[in-house]
Structure 1
């Protein structure tokens, strides 16, 4: 039932490096050789963007095709793709510019340094109706911590354990520091213009938060919700499962604003909701699925795992109607066995070295790609 599904696309940031797990910056060369890749300010990671697609099988292909092209190109240079969302074995004391002549990169390096040198997944879901779009931004803002909990994959930095399951989100410079829960499109436009006038934002793109409205002419023309909080998810099946969970929540929201839009169905003020959401994000960055959070309905304490299970239960009937139950299946394994960060932290506590864990995960990335192909999702 593809016609009922939203258009979806990914912005995928990846680290490149040696099979031993050390980062090697080669972004400019990748962008020159492969036309579907672009550089990030630091040359140790690259990015590709998938076109908007509704069908999950086609989305899987769009996710894998550039990744396999890049992997083949890297292999000729004895390099590979690295798991994790931070410089696990890298050197965060220095910035490695991909384009020394880019003035915006000057700003990034001087203002933030290597706090921004991370790899992540941005999930975009197409919604053009402004009322639904801003209700979706509000709901995702209030539940973004749960999606970070499922995706956390950055417990290491500079060859050491940081104590955070998502060191990426812990260190990333949220900008501006405080972002409201937008009441509607007009509120968003006015707020963005205020930030630009004050210098808190350098341009319309300079809104670095867990979720934001996006479109061809921000802040005026918008056509999608962009979820920015997720760490890098290397397993395509897990990424599609997280995406399906978000999409199903937004499809339910469309016809259930009274019960699912935090603007109408929470006992908390919008100011309290924004603060609660940011606090939940920080708690999950520290302990992911083990975090104790506060629900947006009433502010009551709830275990992260229990909250995610409740969401899965809530969307399962619609998933069945849309033939998406199988797509959601990997979430059960994550809840049971932990996300990538939790598995790494446990193995590290048992005495395994970070380099060893990365090398194992590098091999797992390759196997996951093969599994997606042999499951009948051929690239053709």
Structure 2
């Protein structure tokens, strides 16, 4: 096989893309390291406090937009995306979206965001990106590199857009004409110069479905998200009490929220994962709130081993479910007595956070 010096750079990028597909990635691109045009927007977003309690977003300053400062020596970024829809999802156009939206009509059932129903994507992508790095190094010799998957101050969606993976939707997520937005992103910062991929144009047009469907109106303008209002932030990132103003609209979403993606017309093209890692785990999909609320901390750790859900901890898990149970009571579900009994069992406990949300839930009824 030719060495890097024997190939021209475009041929080598093609070879990298072939290796990436063999490792389960759906698409790979190359971005440069000059993200200066994104710095103003990032600074303004942070200044307005839209990151909430995600202090890590501001901790590294503008390094997030300066790859060569985060990893000295970086001159190119390899971006990769990996589809994550489980194999069990219906394959007809729009069928999977309709199925997921129908879960909102069953208030006694807990909804876990689709991406979190299988294995922790951080582990899956990181291991495969490292293998891709090793294949590259085998051709170029010593390779200065660092692998990222939603785990460091990296402007992932910006880099992916600049490398031709798609365009930024009005919900701020990346959209792809052949795959919607149901995919994970990862990057390899490298110290060799490769030709950047061509970006693609936006195809959102006048559509504002994602803005209109958001239960908390977290998308305050096209391409502008106030994370403090986002249900994914409230149920995953925020460690404190869920603000009263958002509890009712959270409904039965207990970990994350997919609404802005479910409503997006482009997601009728979302692709199923080629890997079994993202298959749905038993016990997390279509499960009753009462059952999930009964998990002890040991149960929680056992059922979420190797899952992204584990990082929120048992306390936040119970907090989220208590809110959903209160909403189920308010909706007048058939087994209201069972819900109340389960809540009352945790009305007094070691966690003031859970206790407060349980007390709120018990106050909910169809008439208030």
Tell me whether the two structures share a fold, i.e. TM-score over 0.5.
no
TM-score (norm 1): 0.26
Higher helix share: 1
Please report the TM-score for the alignment, with normalisation by the length of structure 2: 0.27
- Greater radius of gyration (CA): 2
